Amino acid sequence: MNLAASLAAAAAAAAFAAPASAQFAKPEDAIKYRQSAMVVMAHHLGRIGAMVNGRVPYDQQSAVANAEVFATLVKLPWVGFGPGTDKGRETRAKPEIWAEQAKFKEHQDKLQAEAPKLVAAARTNSPETLKVAFGPVAQVCKGCHDTYRKD
């Protein structure tokens, strides 16, 4: 899709869709968006993971940059889980997401609460502090995936 078409699609989405999913023209767009945001988010967290696990040398600048991108991305995917977006494109999202909206949101909130702590930890320039902050973030990811994502 070219830019004009993308913009037109976004405009159409906003103009015609129900408010809760107004950002997306079609469920498949919402699914593609949330999956894309997750891919980018996981990549940047993975960069920090490699560092705290000693697979790549510790580098504060990289830790801060990756944590900051992660903290921005961590806010994004959730709008892509609106009503009616349980199907429309291949997805590993379990139906429980839409059946347990409040519980699903708890996971989102936990993750968003941990992200600024990861940024702050990265800024201290202490590999140990970074590792301590990384653990709970990875746990929140895993907890949500174990519950709401198909294998």
Q: Which spans of this chain sit near a second copy (rule: CB under 8 A)?
A: 2-4, 6-7, 9-15, 22-23, 32-33, 35-37, 39-40, 42-43, 45-47, 49-50, 53, 55-56, 68-69, 72-73, 76, 138, 141-142, 145
47-60 burial by CB neighbour count: b if 16+ within 10 A, else e? bbbebbeeeeeeee
| Contact in structure between 115 and 70 (CB atoms under 8 Å) | yes
User: Which residue number, 33 or 78, has a Cβ lying nearer to a second copy?
Assistant: 33
Closest listed residue to residue 64, CA positions, set 110, 128, 114, 121: 121
Query: Measured from the CB of residue 57, what is the shortest distance to a second copy in angstroms?
Result: 9
User: Which residue number, 53 or 101, has a Cβ lying nearer to a second copy?
Assistant: 53
Closest listed residue to residue 70, CA positions, set 133, 6, 149: 133
Query: Measured from the CB of residue 10, what is the shortest distance to a second copy in angstroms?
Result: 3
3-state SS assignment for residue 2? coil
User: Which residue number, 6 or 125, has a Cβ lying nearer to a second copy?
Assistant: 6
